[in-house]
Amino acid sequence: MRLYGKRSVLERLKADPKSIKKVYLKEGVCRPEIAHLAKKKNIQVESLSAKRFFQLAQNVHAQGVMAEVDKFRYHDFEELISQDKQRQPALICLDRINDPQNLGVILRNCACFGGFAVVLSKHETTGVTEAVLKVACGGENYTPVCLVTNLSSAIHKAKEQGYWVGATVVEGGQSPRQLKFNFPLCLLFGSEGEGIRPGLLKHIDYKLTLPMQGAGLSFNVAMAVTIFCYELTTQNP
């Protein structure tokens, strides 16, 4: 896989340098912090002409820096939820979220808040691709990501480990400001077009809806996740 952009490469150098095979810099672009850190970690740095750099980058805007990295490694779900209660992260479970832009934003924002893990279903959900990593800007290094075959089964296992489960719905749920959350907590988010699959709703303890007094629209899933993450951190600092 390739990482594109200054922040993505820099954060990977800081958090997981062993996953980096080589760093490429475009001639004429000064990235001293990246070059110094890569050499300190014994990672090869190659300077490329502008033409060759753009050929490798395949027209992706990379700010003059990219890196060859190992295939993305997902975390083991059962190991993640089996941790001591003090270390159990809040789970953001995504059902049928297939837009790389949205997933990248979610990873980045969850990393900013800290204490969250993202759970993806193999069913109609994008995995962590190069496009996702570019948008995440290094957030994947600080947000565990699990890929599960059966999201319903995963949620059931989380409940066995003491997790409470909330489903986020456009209407008909409680406002997060009016509810005292139970922790550890798992929040379910569905696709913007179809919402959460009915079979998953049998696991939930409560439904949650963001109050919207403006136009008759709805937040996209990345924005909704960000708002809910903020609400969770205010109750569980």
Count helices and strands (H / E) in the chain.
Answer: 9, 10
Tell me whether strands 65-69 and 206-208 are parallel, antiparallel or unpaired: unpaired
Q: One digit per residue, pLDDT tens: the chain, 237 residues?
A: 999 999 999 999 999 999 999 999 999 998 999 999 999 999 999 999 999 999 999 989 999 999 999 999 999 999 999 998 888 999 999 999 999 999 999 999 999 999 999 999 988 889 999 999 999 999 999 999 999 999 999 999 999 999 999 999 988 999 998 899 999 999 999 987 788 999 999 989 999 999 877 675 678 999 999 999 999 999 986
Looking at the structure, do residues 171 and 192 belong to the same domain, yes or no?
A: yes
Looking at the structure, do residues 65 and 134 belong to the same domain, yes or no?
A: no
Looking at the structure, do residues 146 and 64 belong to the same domain, yes or no?
A: no
What total number of domains does the chain contain? 2
Domain extent at residue 194 = 77-235
Looking at the structure, do residues 49 and 103 belong to the same domain, yes or no?
A: no
Residue 59 pLDDT: 85
Looking at the structure, do residues 204 and 135 belong to the same domain, yes or no?
A: yes
Looking at the structure, do residues 121 and 227 belong to the same domain, yes or no?
A: yes
Residue with tokens 């980058």: 57
In whole angstroms, give the CA distance from residue 138 to residue 89. Answer: 19
